């Protein structure tokens, strides 16, 4: 098992229950043995909140020598001692015409 980071496009409700859903992207980390397993775990997790995984834009094993932002490094560090964790990054939204 290794730490995987996936950049996913997703639809989520960002306000109260009456708010419309919003499309955007997010980096998510999880422990998995393959990209497929990581995607399946994340899809199940998101569905638990009523969110929808649209696509996986990138998926990679976290590289100790990789170049990551401070937010990503925080996500990775939070994963290290918790093999059951799924850590969500910042949800970045965008407008669809």
Q: How many independent structural domains does the chain possess?
A: 1
pTM for the predicted model, two decimal places: 0.85
Task: Return the pLDDT at 13.
Answer: 76
pLDDT exceeding 90 applies to what percent of the chain?
56
Give the mean pLDDT of 8-34.
85
Q: Which domain holds residue 19?
A: 2-93
Residues pairing with 25 in the sheet: 9, 92
The average pLDDT across 44-60 equals: 94
Read off φ and ψ for residue 36, nearest 5 degrees. Answer: -65, -45
- Evaluate whether 22 touches 66 at the Cβ level (below 8 Å): no
Taking 90 as the threshold, does the pLDDT of residue 48 lie above it? yes
Residue 61 pLDDT: 95
């Amino acid at each position: 098992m290794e730490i995987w980071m996936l950049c996913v496009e997703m639809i989520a409700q960002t306000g109260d229950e009456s708010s419309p859903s919003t499309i955007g992207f997010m980096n998510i980390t999880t422990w998995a043995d393959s990209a497929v397993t990581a995607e399946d775990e994340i899809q199940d997790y998101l569905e638990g909140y009523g969110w929808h995984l649209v696509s996986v834009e990138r998926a990679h094993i976290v590289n100790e020598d990789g170049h990551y932002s401070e937010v990503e490094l925080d996500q990775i560090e939070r994963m290290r001692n918790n093999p059951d964790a799924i850590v969500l990054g910042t949800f970045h939204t965008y407008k669809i015409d």
